[in-house]
Amino acid sequence: MSKVPEDKPPVDLGKRIEEVLKRHGIRAEKRHVDRFIKNISPISHVLSPQLLEALVLENLTIGESYFFRDIQTFDKLRKVLKEKPSWNVLSIGCSRGEEVYSTAIVCNEVGVECRIKGIDVNFQRITQARKGCYQFWSVRFLSKEDIERYFNIVDGQYCIKDVYKKNVEFIQGNILDTGTEIFGTKEKFDIIFIRRVLLYIDNLEPVIHKISSLLKDNGFLILGAGEYFPEVLEHFTPAFADVGTFYRKIKLKHDETHKHKGFLSKTRSEKTKINSQLDTRAEPSDSSREYTQQKVQHQPKELEIVNLLKKTIDGIDLEERIKLIEEYIAKKAYNRAYELIKESCTKYPTSYVLWKYRTLVELENSDLESAKNSLQRAIFLNSADDEIWQLKHALDFRTKFK
């Protein structure tokens, strides 16, 4: 068997990877895919379709998390759980299980019974979740007392105590798989977490429809802080006026279904306009302010969600803001990233990372004068960051040939 040159991957390798990502509804950054192709190209000629698929899922799916991520969400969850004595919970894209075990801890402390299932396409992460042992990175925001309460320290790892593993199950799979029924035909959930997952899915409608079908009437959908998808409003409505991560399933009567679909069709373009308003970085003119004020009475739900998103963003810490900014930049949603960056720079003016990303986005938007000012702040705050000097080189080049 002839050896495939190491510096020239097979012409169909990228296509094979693309087919795996499409089959699982996963969106991966091009730079991650290119790096993955470079790494596996020397052995790609001996990879079976099954092994290639496993490698794609291991290397190109999202996996970073930590305990009690989006603390506002878990504070609200504590209050919600008091409504009844037992709950059936699903965590989609559960990664290594931090979200599942955080939920189990809250259930235990509130004193309610919870059956919790976590599902993820990545077999290695599901294996880690079942083991329930973590590095310090996953528990870094917990106090010493909380760590001692929730974990046993074994060989330098933080292993979740058995009491929090009760009624917890982890499943490798994709909720859109049609070949097998993952949960059983009659199983319904009271709460479904799907945080930092929808950002990476191209076709949202079948995913949201499936989630709605898995939820009980009036069940809760929980998104990540700062996430907003107009498609969600076709099945869900904001559950609370003070946090933008909780949505409740809309219960439709049989004779209301057609009417509801007509309403959704009519308002979808309006929701898109609201979403576009979130992306714009220009300050509204006096006339546009007046127009917006006139539209308030016609778009209460959408404007309510905009306000909820702002409240939620205000409550998250610097690290969460940076992660959300990075996700927006990865999606090339520069206008939305810029709004969050500007607001975050006001709240955290000494964070060099924010000023670095501000420079990057201003470069992308060809706002060179603003980029110069932001770059000066970034250099002053941390002149040792190589990426800052790369941005300076790019800015100097753009300015020279302007």
| DSSP annotation string for 38-79 | HHHGGGGGG--HHHHHHHHHHHSS-----TTSSHHHHHHHHH
- The whole-number pLDDT of residue 226 equals 73
Q: Where in the sequence of the chain do the CATH 3.40.50.150 domains occur? A: 71-254
Q: pLDDT digits over 326-338, tens only?
A: 888 887 888 888 9
Is the pLDDT at 53 greater than 90? The verdict is no
CA distance 236 to 49: 38
Is 246 within 8 Å of 76 (Cβ atoms)? yes
Q: pLDDT digits over 19-46, tens only?
A: 888 887 777 778 778 878 887 887 777 7
Q: Collapsing DSSP states into helix, strand and coil, what is residue 221?
A: strand
User: What is the CATH architecture assignment of 71-254?
Assistant: 3-Layer(aba) Sandwich (3.40)
- The whole-number pLDDT of residue 2 equals 44
- The whole-number pLDDT of residue 1 equals 44
Weakest-pLDDT range from 166-170, 189-193, 240-244, 354-358: 240-244
- The whole-number pLDDT of residue 249 equals 94
Mean confidence (pLDDT) of the chain: 80
Is the pLDDT at 286 greater than 60? The verdict is no
Q: Where in the sequence of the chain do the CATH 1.25.40.10 domains occur? A: 317-400
Instruction: Provide the CATH topology of domain 317-400.
Output: 1.25.40
Using alpha carbons, select from 80, 82, 118 the residue that is nearest to residue 102.
118
Higher per-residue confidence, 275 vs 306: 306
Is the pLDDT at 310 greater than 80? The verdict is no
Q: pLDDT digits over 59-83, tens only?
A: 776 666 789 988 889 999 999 999 9
Using alpha carbons, select from 365, 369, 349 the residue that is nearest to residue 281.
365
CA distance 95 to 119: 8
Q: pLDDT digits over 132-166, tens only?
A: 999 998 998 899 999 999 999 999 999 999 999 99
